[in-house]
Structure 1
Amino acid sequence: MSQFMKEHKAPWECTYAKEDKSKCKPGNKPKFDQEYFEILCLCILQTGLNWSMVRKSWPKIKQGFYGFNINKLSRATLNELIERPGVYNNKNKVEAIVANAKEFQKIKQDFGAFLNFLKSLKRLKDKEAIRQLTKQFKYIGEYTAEYYLHCVGYWE
């Protein structure tokens, strides 16, 4: 690791590889379900892309995805979203965001809030919690699930 790398905070400042995560401080715990959802969407949308470019475009992306409003996105269609400015033309990622909005609604019904769902994962070993997220959400692999938990301050 370069001596010039500075400490930074997930998710908005993190640009380093997983191997360098020791310099990346966990993110602040979101206060609302929509904040948890927006960070999940960030993790999905930056997969395979230049993270800093995604973050520079984030205000446009956020507007294109209805401000990551869970209720609006759970009713949105792929064609509707793909047509909107700021939405990446990646069918799999857009479909995943719609499916994950629906999953967030189910979690809210079952647990009252997404934070309560995350608290329920604490009884699991870390690897099991990561696997649970990969099963529960679309377009989330183990690395993305681990990074997401780091971003939302799951491990303090």
Structure 2
Amino acid sequence: MNRCPWCLCNEKMIRYHDEEWGVPLHDDRKQFEFLMMEVMQCGLNWNMMIKKREIFRQCFDGFDFDKVAGYGEADVERILGTEGMIRSERKVRAVIHNARCFQQIRDAYGSFSAYLWSFTGGRTYVYPAHQTEGLPASNELSDKISRDLKKRGLKYMGSITVYSHLQACGIINDHREDCFRFAELLALADVEEQK
């Protein structure tokens, strides 16, 4: 069975690739989890995020953004004191701040997922050039969404971070064509080919 090479380093990464990465996601809590893991990942690597995922879930109430939005100083200290947690006060505060911004987007659009998918009209984008020319770190779509998220106050939302999120939540299908998940995920989505 062929898989994207990036996931082959360990079983947790393979499971993430096989079960989650690129699946069209319309659940706000999972959107928040994936997006905030991207925040925690800035300057680090995704393998570390997958390994620490249960610690993040413990620290941030299972990524319940309504609960996280209510966090105060005691919660910041609790999180930073958790064994195995990434000890970046700026990132922890950014997650809490972003939860509040996330709520505002949900209130304006009905859900964060509705907001995010509106950028593609609910479609999953496939870029054939990525199969031959390699995956970019960002593109026009991630640039546009990054600018909008920043305008709405979210932190650590550069275009590279946003592009990674779009791959993770299935807005962009960047599985390799020879990966078994590529065709499976195409079957789950309304697909639009992009140049």
TM range (shorter): 0.7 to 0.9
Tell me the distance in 2 between the aligned counterparts of 1:86 and 1:40: 20
1:21 match:
none
The alignment of Structure 1 onto Structure 2 pairs a total of residues equal to 140
Contact 1:111 1:117 in 2 (8 A): yes
Aligned-residue offset at 1:30: 2.2
Contact 1:33 1:114 in 2 (8 A): yes
Tell me the distance in 1 between the aligned counterparts of 2:116 and 2:5: 24
Letter in 2 for 1:89: R
Contact 2:146 2:157 in 1 (8 A): no
Q: For the pair shown, which has the larger CA radius of gyration, 1 or 2?
A: 2
1:112 match:
110
Tell me the distance in 2 between the aligned counterparts of 1:84 and 1:75: 19
1:98 match:
96
Among residues 23, 29, 44, which one is paired with 2:24 in the alignment?
29
Contact 1:28 1:151 in 2 (8 A): yes
Change (3 A) 1:52 1:102: same
User: Does 2:40 match 1:45?
Assistant: yes
RMSD of Structure 2 on Structure 1 (CA): 2.7
2:179 match:
none
Relative to the length of structure 2, the TM-score reads: 0.62
SS of 2:170's partner is: coil
Tell me the distance in 2 between the aligned counterparts of 1:131 and 1:13: 30
Change (3 A) 1:88 1:130: same
Q: Which protein, 1 or 2, shows the higher relative CO under an 8 Å CA cutoff with sep ≥ 6?
A: 2
Among residues 63, 68, 73, which one is paired with 1:68 in the alignment?
63
Relative to the length of structure 1, the TM-score reads: 0.75
Aligned-residue offset at 1:86: 4.7
Aligned-residue offset at 1:150: 1.5
Aligned-residue offset at 1:98: 0.4
Q: 5+ residue gaps in structure 1?
A: 15-24
Letter in 2 for 1:133: L
Q: 5+ residue gaps in structure 2?
A: 15-19, 122-139, 174-195
